[in-house]
Structure 1
Amino acid sequence: MGLELRGRHREREMLDRLLRDVRAGHSRVLVLRGEAGVGKTALIDYLTGHAPAGRVIRSAGVEPETELAYSALQQLCAPLLEHLDRLPEPQRDALSTAFGLSSGRPPEGLVIGLAVLGLLAEAAAGQPLICVVDDAQWLDRMSEVILTFVARRLDSESVALIFAVRGDLLPGLPGLNVEGLPDPEARALLDTVLPGLVDARIRDRIVAETRGNPLALLELPRDLTPAEIAFGFGGQSTTVAGRVEDNFARRIAALPAGSRTLLLAAAVEPVGDVPLLWRAAARLGIGPEAAAPLQEAGLVEFGARVRFRHPLVRSAGHRSAGPADLRAVHHALAEVTDGERDPDRRAWHRAHAAIGPDEEVAAELEQSAGRALARGGRAAAASFLERAAELTLDAEARAGRTLAAARARFASGSLAVVPELLAAAEIGPYDPVRQAGIERLRARVAFAVISGRAAVTPLLEAAVRLETLDPPAARATYLSAIGAAVNAGRLGGDDLRRAALAARTVTPGDEAAGRLLTAFTTWVLHGHATAVPLFRRALASVTPENDLDLHWLAGMAEHEIFDDVSFLARTGQAVTFARREGMLAVLPGALTFRATALIYCGRFAEASDLIGEAGALGPAPHPATAAILAAYRGQTGPALEAIASLRTEATAGGAGWLIGVAEYARAVLHNGHGDYPAALAAARQATGHDDLAVLQWGLGELVEAAARTHEDDLAKAARDRLADRADAAGSGWARGTRALADALTATHAKSESDHPAESGTSSVSGGDGPARGGDRAGAGVEASYQEAIARLAATPLDLLTARARLLYGEWLRRENRRADARLQLRPAHEAFAAMGAEGFAGRASRELLATGETVRKRAPGVREELTAQEGQIVRLAAAGRTNPEIGAILFLSPRTVEWHLRKIFAKLGVTSRRELAATV
């Protein structure tokens, strides 16, 4: 029943090229976008008809099934389940659970996505695989999420994934806009259906009004008299799709009553199950003869499956039916649907057949919601629960089901509808437990939607209401309010102090959130030093398994108390846990925090990989980490652009903490290039507010910039503030940071006459003799530099160690100890160059030149020959990861990893994984 493919030279050429690529072993994704009837399905038929010898599987979104989790995905994957056993066990179990083939823990979308990716790769191992998803605008939410995830990660599996969709859905995927036929082809197609001779001007008008839409050209003139054609279609929808659907509706209305009901039943039954449809028709008193008028009218085919001429026929049949007819059809379908094999679809039909409250049906829907949640279908569970609540007469039970629906909507990411559901849940009789749940969820929505200043007041109001209802929830909500106030920073006025004072009224708790709340209120009200031991105790109780949503705040607290060991461990554990559990919602944030840790370890390439991975998973987290990395890389243009983007987002979102990060990053960038006046201006702004963690980052930059611009009083004041914090923390990172600040401020306490040459110049004369500043002060300065290097070198913070060596080398060079200076500047330069810290590497290079050493450019290594993705694979393979493990980390199929490794081996001139570590 597909339309004849006329013209379409550009489209056919693109599809032919796609097929050639798939035949050559590559994967390709294409989204055909266009209005209803424009010819997307005809192009798909062309594609599948010209596909290489291989396998073609098709699926389609169906409007009545948009609320049933994984319905379209299961339809697509069903022919491939013979390959299920080849998947890693966690992926196999997740997919089996999602499809209801087995029971197990509710699977996360990330694991299901990896499973589908692996399933397609396995199916295409021996022959190319063509996967077609038509009417993607009607995909259920989970199928859309998973298929989009897979589409973005197909690479070298010989898989083609083709979507046909109305509108601008599936953004970010390669697309082809399908438009109407050119005028000559449109006129030729119209001539095949016009009733006799028609005035040329009328033909031109029809072509213009339909914009060359093939289905409209074929359907609109059908059954119209020459007069109707000549004087307009009249009274129909203004859109082409609307006109075509109106025309289908008119043709349906002319059918016998039994045929109309049969078409309605076929439209409501989404699978196209012919035996089930005939059983339902028998319940409705309709015989097989009712099918003949539908087939004669060219509206529906009854073969192995029910197939509509076009989805608009289904829509027209559904929308032209009255409520009583719809209920009757749903009732018949419910009666013939097997409650053992397909209980959820049966419950859904029963729900639509109900005319009023029905506790039996509501209970079935509630059970269906539980099964949907067990499969990871949160949006489907919410739909079941909402309908269950509508059918519930008992006010208390209705409120409980409505609250459960709100929780499911929140978990599915549909935040906009949650407040309305919560308001409905409050209508029932007062129940303190339920009311506590309502307030807690309302607070979580507030924090999820607006985590800056605007969230503080609603969170505090919710926390107050929760104090007598649910103290642990109250503590968690107060902590969220403090977190929002921390985010608000300098834009929040006295919000942070107000939140801390309010939080003191709740009973202290020994759970992780309660301990963190105590630590933060102490930090706000009594200062850093008093809070340090409380932070240490609280942070020890925050684990990924039960408190992953606290990790962002815990991570910043670890920076606040200079705990590099815990921060590195926590960020690594959070990423590992989120990957293992497939927690797609929290993984981007976990990756971003891990990237922050890796920056200070000097592992810029890995940090960049994680930032890119976080962005590829969906809406990117705030660009704070990206701005810090760009600043340390020292490429001025990109860094300033990232910093400006961060400031813009911070201002728009009321997140003053990010403004502090932006100015800290600006100070890093300018200190790296030796532009100390610019660094000083930025560092003063960064330290203008007591931002969590950012203040001490900024104080370090301020000490360096102020010392180098001879703002000695400012440098000493910053050093004193930093020393107070470092002394309270007492870690190796803290003591090394203090020792470096001591050295910088002591160095510049000397008179100008003792230091005629400024850093970065080459005006120093003399040889490699002893330091002119070999007095007691000079010895104290040197001891501080050496202590700073020793303490920082004992941590994994290689970036900070390299900076300390650079500063020590600069001091030695100014002291005319050139040979000693080279011993510090050389490893600093090499470290910065290896990291990719171009600004600091350039500064070290200039200092080395001033000592008389020739600095050779770093020879390009193998890493520059590899793409970013290949670099990730090399690092993971060299660390001993298997192909399935690499694939799980990078969201690639194991076969794609294997393909990349073959290319990498050829580029690096190695033949095995054992050689990778030594080579790279």
Structure 2
Amino acid sequence: MRFPADALFGRENETAFLQDRIDGLSRQGGAVLVHGEPGIGKTALLEEAARHGTQGRHRVLTTVGVESETLLPFSGLHQLIFPFRSLIGDLPNNERDALQAALGITDAPVHDVFLVALAALNLLARAAADTPLLLVVDDVHWLDGASAEVLSFLSRRLESEPILLMAAMRDGYPSHLTRADIPGLAVGPLSAEASALLLDERAPGLARVARQQLLKEAAGNPLALTELATDAPGHETISPDAPWTPMSRRLQDAFTARLRTLPDTTRRILLTAACDDSPSLTEILSVASPRPAAAVTAADLAPAVSARLVETAGDTVRFRHPLMRSAIRQAAPAALRREVHAALARCLPPGSDRRTWHEAAATVRPDARLADRLEAAADRAYRRGGAADSVFALEQAARLSDEASQRIERLLKAADQAVDTGQQHLLTRLLDAATPWATTPQQRARIQWIKGGLEDGMRDASEGTALLTRLVRTVMAQDDHDLAVRILWSAALRCFWSEPGDAARRDIVALADALPFPDDDPRILAILAYAQPVTSGSRVLTHLRRAAGRTAGDAQADRLVGSAAVLVGDFELAEELSEVSVPGLRAQGRLGLLARALGAQAWSGAQLARLSSTIPVAEEASRLARETGQTFLHGINVATEARTAALQGRHDSAMELAAQAERIGLPVAARPVLATAQIARGLAAMGAGRHEEAYAHLLRMHDPTDPAHQPALRCYALIELVDAAVHSGDTRRARSVIAEMETAASRSTSPALRSGLCYARAVLADDNGAEALFERALADGGCAWPFDRARVQLAYGQWLRRQRRVTDARVQLRAAREAFDALGTAPWGDRARRELLASGETSRRREPDARDRLTPQELQIAQMAAEGLTNREIGQRLYLSHRTVSTHLHRVFPKLGISSRAELASVFPPVR
């Protein structure tokens, strides 16, 4: 069914697009972000789409972001899912508890907004099982931060659901949805023809000159054409000499002019409605009444309805456009606005957060008790998952604090929490406000530490490790050891992302030693591993296993120990512990930390060439890092995806992904991103037989002046470097690197470093000593990991063939070929086949595995299903609805040539 052609002037294409998305809900869900300037017609499009959805027997749910409600965590979500509250009890326990806490049904804290989002997804999916859902969200830029985060999460996961999310927002406003990569519908100005038709419909008697001038000034903005035409006398023109003003200001001025024609009582009701965070007509009329004996009534609001400023329905008042609310507030003197907020506060229950907000808005002078109540409200908001809402409350508490010490502490607390929101502009505003009040060295240092909280300090080099270690000493002197270890961890992370120098690294280790924590404390081990991965390598490796035993069941501690294992080159342990931490982080909804755990698991798995398990993990790590705003972690994960593509032999894809990762990391010289990208490029070039190119890529990691130089990660690409050097015919620089690594090995027992050196010693040896070194590499466990061992066997077989020991060569080359085929590292399997052919033995080509036809997410879901997990269990792990999981499995079966879930076990035997 098409929209009526005359429903909206000049919006045939936009309405047709939205109609098609609605009509296709039975096949595919999703999200659309309608965006444009104020008054361009976004709300009208949503309303038309909602009518079409209703006519198509879809269930339509709506919510509207209101500027005055941005401080109420999950208020927007509450409006959207309230009709389905009876289904909350059917959710899994952890999701039920999280959603009830978010909606204020219980007083439990909200540990992570993403668990709430998963609960909302499953609730809506269940509600849509019988009737498709159309979720309409207007003014999404004014939703509370927690609700916006949930909608952003939902928007990426509705493709397989009969649910369409349609959201509208103003251009130029920050929102979580703008980072969600969902399809956008840009709403531009009306055409000249449509503008003329609309104006003639709304103001048929307008004088010709005024009509022409208004068409020019409105520039295709429907609200301007409608509202300015209403206010324009037929005989007047707009002076062409008048200074230009933005259309939004022109409209506000028009609304303000209309306001002046209304009775005083009506204007007071409108100002009360504009300041209130509730649309309740009863509440607004009660507050607007000067005294009980002179109560105002709905009839007093009638002139505003006639002036088309507001609409009423039942006990609800709604402004016809948000600009009208803004115009009314801005037209009122500040003192009068404060008077209205004070009246609103008096009508609300004592102790309620709403009363506190309005009292704060009514107060100019410092008020210690009100500031304390605002801080308590902030703590409640934070417990409910509203980090952005808590931040604003703390900012207001700081404004009303009567002591400078309280003001700076509240601003710093707000800034620390603002890091969780990922909003740079908010963090900058708070730190700018805090800076003039920071009178002590510790406070100034804390400002620099917090500034570096976003993206591990990579956006601003001013908060270097020296400043952070000075702050650690100050905090330690006050016996605040938990804060000290947090700050020291920030300093250690700087050593991972950038290069502060040996002195800074030694200082961090010395401070870690001075903290009163045991040697196997996961935080201390992580600090040591990140600060001095080589020098402290043996020490960290000694305690890692014991730390892992201590942290069993503590997902966050397991993640830390796993990440430490990556830096010191124990990839078996790193993969194991990172994988162990994942279920707990999933259950807790800690998607930011989950992205890091999956990233460590994927990096380690790529190093071990465990492709079947690593490919889906790397894809999920990359996706979650992007969703949670961790730009440079996303870069590393993209580079890891490039590595797995290179190992599979997808050379072009590997190069494209490496280039994408480099674009992320290069502007700030994010060393681990660039180092991983060079490994991927080296592997891809070698797989394609371009050995000199591969050598050039890999050598970059070992040049201290190159931003791809990362002290730890460069130690774990020695096999690649030496392989490329030998095949390019230039081993001089590689030998220099290996000599340096031999020195490093005297200080570290890193398994990865040992494996690389075992390979290098054998391959770079002269013919007299090579055989003994090859045999030693294969015999003493130095190259025990299957991919490393197979590469030793390949190199050994090549050497034996050159010595004309063909029979012995074939033994090694066959073993290498079988290992490479089992791992799925096709380019290395092909190399082994070519060497066997040169020895006189032919090999059957490796047939592509059916699993290679699956996308990374399909592969992950199929593996979980093969392990016996139900669709609902898989969905809980991957933050998908069970319907989405079912859709993926139905795509998987024909790709694998199977017809049932029971057959998956034969395709996916246990990995380990």
Which band: TM-score by shorter chain?
0.7 to 0.9
C-alpha displacement of 1:400: 3.5
1:324 equivalent to 2:335? Answer yes
Please say which of residues 345-354 and 419-428 is displaced more in the overlay: 419-428
Please say which of residues 331-340 and 881-890 is displaced more in the overlay: 331-340
State the SS of the aligned residue for 2:269.
Answer: helix
State the SS of the aligned residue for 2:609.
Answer: coil
CA distance in 1, matches of 2:726, 2:552: 42
CA distance in 2, matches of 1:729, 1:477: 26
1:877 to 841, 865, 874: 865
C-alpha displacement of 1:505: 6.7
State the SS of the aligned residue for 1:56.
Answer: strand
Match of 1:496 in 2: 502
Write out per-residue CA displacement over residues 300-349 of structure 1, whole angstroms, 9 at most, x where no aligned residue: 12222212222222221122111122112212222223447xx2222111
Residue 694 of structure 1 aligns to which amino acid in structure 2? L
* Alignment check: 8 A CA contact 1:130 1:160 kept: yes
* Alignment check: 8 A CA contact 1:7 1:181 kept: yes
CA distance in 1, matches of 2:786, 2:461: 33
Match of 2:43 in 1: 41
Write out per-residue CA displacement over residues 850-892 of structure 1, whole angstroms, 9 at most, x where no aligned residue: 2334444433443244344322211111122222222133321
* Alignment check: 8 A CA contact 2:512 2:524 kept: no
1:592 to 580, 594, 599: 599
Match of 1:133 in 2: 137
C-alpha displacement of 1:135: 1.3
Write out per-residue CA displacement over residues 591-620 of structure 1, whole angstroms, 9 at most, x where no aligned residue: 222211121332335433333323333244
Please say which of residues 301-310 and 455-464 is displaced more in the overlay: 455-464
Residue 778 of structure 2 aligns to which amino acid in structure 1? Q
Match of 2:539 in 1: 533
1:398 equivalent to 2:417? Answer no
C-alpha displacement of 1:567: 1.1
Match of 2:14 in 1: 11
1:411 to 408, 420, 434: 420
Residue 496 of structure 1 aligns to which amino acid in structure 2? D
**What TM-score, normalized to structure 1?**
0.86
Match of 1:146 in 2: 150
1:459 equivalent to 2:468? Answer yes
1:218 equivalent to 2:226? Answer yes
Match of 2:837 in 1: 849
Number of corresponding residues: 875
Residue 606 of structure 2 aligns to which amino acid in structure 1? I
Match of 2:317 in 1: 306
C-alpha displacement of 1:650: 4.6
* CA RMSD of superposed structures (Å): 3.6
State the SS of the aligned residue for 2:245.
Answer: coil
CA distance in 2, matches of 1:908, 1:408: 47
Structure 1 gaps of 5+ residues are: 751-776
Superposed, which structure 2 residues align to 1:607-618 within 5 Å?
A: 607-617=614-624, 618=627
* Alignment check: 8 A CA contact 2:73 2:145 kept: yes
1:696 equivalent to 2:696? Answer no
CA distance in 1, matches of 2:616, 2:526: 34
Match of 2:160 in 1: 156
CA distance in 2, matches of 1:423, 1:18: 45
Write out per-residue CA displacement over residues 657-703 of structure 1, whole angstroms, 9 at most, x where no aligned residue: 55544444444344444544444444444334484332322433343
Change (3 A) 1:626 1:362: same
1:350 to 346, 349, 359: 359
2:654 to 618, 622, 639: 639
Write out per-residue CA displacement over residues 800-823 of structure 1, whole angstroms, 9 at most, x where no aligned residue: 233233223323433444455444
Change (3 A) 1:550 1:350: farther
Please say which of residues 585-594 and 427-436 is displaced more in the overlay: 427-436
Superposed, which structure 2 residues align to 1:107-506 within 5 Å?
A: 107-167=111-171, 170-171=177-178, 172-194=181-203, 196=205, 198-199=207-208, 202-228=210-236, 230-232=237-239, 238-282=245-289, 285-288=294-297, 289-304=299-314, 305-339=316-350, 343-418=352-427, 421=430, 441=450, 444=453, 447-450=456-459, 455-470=464-479, 472=481, 473-474=483-484, 476-489=486-499, 492=500, 495-501=501-507, 504=510
1:825 equivalent to 2:817? Answer no
Write out per-residue CA displacement over residues 9-28 of structure 1, whole angstroms, 9 at most, x where no aligned residue: 21222122112211x24213
CA distance in 2, matches of 1:68, 1:320: 26
State the SS of the aligned residue for 1:692.
Answer: coil
Match of 1:760 in 2: none
Change (3 A) 1:215 1:605: farther
Superposed, which structure 2 residues align to 1:572-721 within 5 Å?
A: 572-617=579-624, 618=627, 619=629, 620=631, 621=633, 622-623=635-636, 624-647=639-662, 649-656=664-671, 658-689=673-704, 691-708=710-727, 721=740
CA distance in 1, matches of 2:243, 2:70: 28
CA distance in 1, matches of 2:527, 2:318: 64
CA distance in 2, matches of 1:803, 1:151: 44
**What TM-score, normalized to structure 2?**
0.87
Change (3 A) 1:634 1:178: same
State the SS of the aligned residue for 1:206.
Answer: helix
Please say which of residues 375-384 and 683-692 is displaced more in the overlay: 683-692
Match of 1:771 in 2: none
CA distance in 1, matches of 2:803, 2:111: 64
CA distance in 1, matches of 2:141, 2:803: 71
Change (3 A) 1:729 1:856: same
Residue 291 of structure 1 aligns to which amino acid in structure 2? L
Write out per-residue CA displacement over residues 486-535 of structure 1, whole angstroms, 9 at most, x where no aligned residue: 4324xx5xx232442476378712433774488469958xx73x751355
* Alignment check: 8 A CA contact 2:442 2:471 kept: no
Write out per-residue CA displacement over residues 767-812 of structure 1, whole angstroms, 9 at most, x where no aligned residue: xxxxxxxxxx576255235326x6645xxx4332332332233234
Change (3 A) 1:94 1:236: farther
CA distance in 2, matches of 1:57, 1:744: 67
CA distance in 1, matches of 2:584, 2:264: 59
Change (3 A) 1:871 1:384: same
Change (3 A) 1:834 1:505: closer
Residue 51 of structure 2 aligns to which amino acid in structure 1? G
C-alpha displacement of 1:629: 3.2
Change (3 A) 1:539 1:518: farther
Residue 888 of structure 1 aligns to which amino acid in structure 2? Q
* Alignment check: 8 A CA contact 2:755 2:788 kept: no
C-alpha displacement of 1:423: 7.0
1:31 to 25, 30, 33: 33
Change (3 A) 1:196 1:584: same
CA distance in 2, matches of 1:715, 1:38: 63
CA distance in 2, matches of 1:104, 1:895: 29
CA distance in 2, matches of 1:522, 1:643: 26
Match of 1:508 in 2: 514
2:100 to 71, 96, 103: 96
Superposed, which structure 2 residues align to 1:901-916 within 5 Å?
A: 901-916=889-904
State the SS of the aligned residue for 2:17.
Answer: helix
Change (3 A) 1:566 1:210: same
Change (3 A) 1:223 1:615: same
Residue 331 of structure 1 aligns to which amino acid in structure 2? A
Change (3 A) 1:510 1:128: same
State the SS of the aligned residue for 1:30.
Answer: strand
Match of 1:765 in 2: none
Change (3 A) 1:871 1:222: same
Change (3 A) 1:813 1:785: farther
Change (3 A) 1:394 1:18: same
CA distance in 1, matches of 2:460, 2:246: 41
Please say which of residues 711-720 and 70-79 is displaced more in the overlay: 711-720
Write out per-residue CA displacement over residues 153-204 of structure 1, whole angstroms, 9 at most, x where no aligned residue: 11222111111111155332112122333333322221233362622x5434
Structure 2 gaps of 5+ residues are: none
Write out per-residue CA displacement over residues 368-400 of structure 1, whole angstroms, 9 at most, x where no aligned residue: 112101101111111111112222224444344
2:882 to 885, 888, 894: 894
